[in-house]
Structure 1
Amino acid sequence: MNDDIRDQLGEAERTFEGSPGTIEEGLDVDDAELVQLRRACRLLEVGSNHLDQGYYTVVIESAFVAIERTIQFRLIHDGAMSAAEVISSHRRLYQRGAEIGLYDDAFGEELAELWNRNRTKTYYRLGIATKEQAEAMYRLANDIHRHLIDMTRVSHECICRD
């Protein structure tokens, strides 16, 4: 790698190690559950904006992550997960949602299989994302998000634009 790129790598690393700079509007909250909720909101907004532009892979990616951030929000909100806990397995995250009754086991398993079979395929270009897939994933993510936040005492904290 040339020296300019190495310097850029070092600069990027320093931005993550230093004190916070300009924080994204809407995510400037101290509560870990609200950070996850609002991250999901932002991901849904990105998905909506990019769907019309034809960036189907980005929409599918953001939909999967929005679903996971929404589930993580509920796990923290419901006391089933600490803010510091990290669940690196997608399947395990979906299982945890089922364990606390966000949805039944079969739905959690279907989410995990959807991720396993299809997200990997479009992400690694083993399959090419389509408009229909992107639209379906966006609708699924948006509906899961709405359903899981509407049942909480903090639904007013959602910053999604309807």
Structure 2
Amino acid sequence: MNDDIRDQLEEAERTFEGSPGTVEEGLDVDDAELVQLRRACRLLEVGSNLLDQGYYTVVIESAFVAIERTIQFRLIHDGAMSAAEVISSHQRLYQRGAEIGLYDDVFGEDLAELWNRNRTKTYYRLGIATKEQAEAMYRLADDIHRDLVDMTRVSHECLCRG
């Protein structure tokens, strides 16, 4: 890599190490569960906007991540996960959701299988994302989000409701 790119890498690293700068509007909350909730809201919002513009791969990706952020929100909200805990396995995150009763085991397994078979394929361009896939994934993510958020005492904190 040339020196300019190396300098840019170092600058990017410094921005993550330094004190916070301008925080994204709506995410300026201290509560970890609300951060996850609102991240999911933002991902759904951008997914909706990009779907209209034909960016199907990005919509599919944001839908999967919105589902995971929503599940993580509920795990923290329900006391089944600490704010500092990191679940890096998609399958394990879906399993944890089933373990606490957010949905049944079969649904959790189906989510994991959907991720394993299809997300990787479209993300790494082993398959080409289609409008129909993006629309279906967006609807799934939005419905999961609404269902899991609506049953909480903090549903009014959802940015999707605004």
Q: CA RMSD in A?
A: 0.7
Give the distance between the partners of 1:142 and 1:3, measured in 2 at CA: 44
Distance, in Å, in 1 between the alignment partners of 2:9 and 2:152 is 41
Query: Matches of 1:126 and 1:71 in 2, distance apart?
Result: 27
Which segments of 5 or more consecutive residues in structure 2 lack a partner in the other structure? none
| Structure 1 Cα separation of the partners of residues 134 and 160 of structure 2 | 19
- Partner Cα distance (1:74, 1:95) in 2: 13
| Mapped contact 1:45–1:161 kept (Cα < 8 A) | no
> Which residue of structure 1 lines up, in the alignment, with residue 60 of structure 2?
60
In 2, distance between residues paired with 1:36 and 1:78? 13
SS at match of 1:20: coil
- Compute the displacement of 1:161 (Å): 5.2
The one-character-per-residue Cα deviations of 1:59-106 (angstroms, maximum 9, x if unpaired) are 000000000000000000000000000000000000000000000000
| Residue 37 of structure 2 corresponds to residue 40 of structure 1 | no
Query: Displacement, 1:30?
Result: 0.2
TM-fit CA distance, 1:160: 1.1
Q: Following the alignment from structure 1 to structure 2, what is the Cα–Cα distance between the partners of residues 37 and 52?
A: 23
Normalization by structure 2: what TM-score? 0.99
Percent identity over the alignment is: 93
CA contact (8 A) 1:40 1:65 kept: yes
CA–CA separation in structure 2 for the residues paired with 1:87 and 1:23: 24
Distance 1:63 1:41, change over 3 A: same
Q: Structure 1: state its 5+ residue gaps.
A: none
After TM superposition, the score normalised by the length of structure 1 is: 0.99
What SS does the aligned partner of 1:126 have?
coil
8 Å CA contact 1:33–1:73 kept in 2: the answer is yes
Could you say which residue in structure 2 is the equivalent of 1:109?
A: 109
Q: Matched residue pairs, number? A: 162
Q: Distance in 2 between matches of 1:54 and 1:161?
A: 25
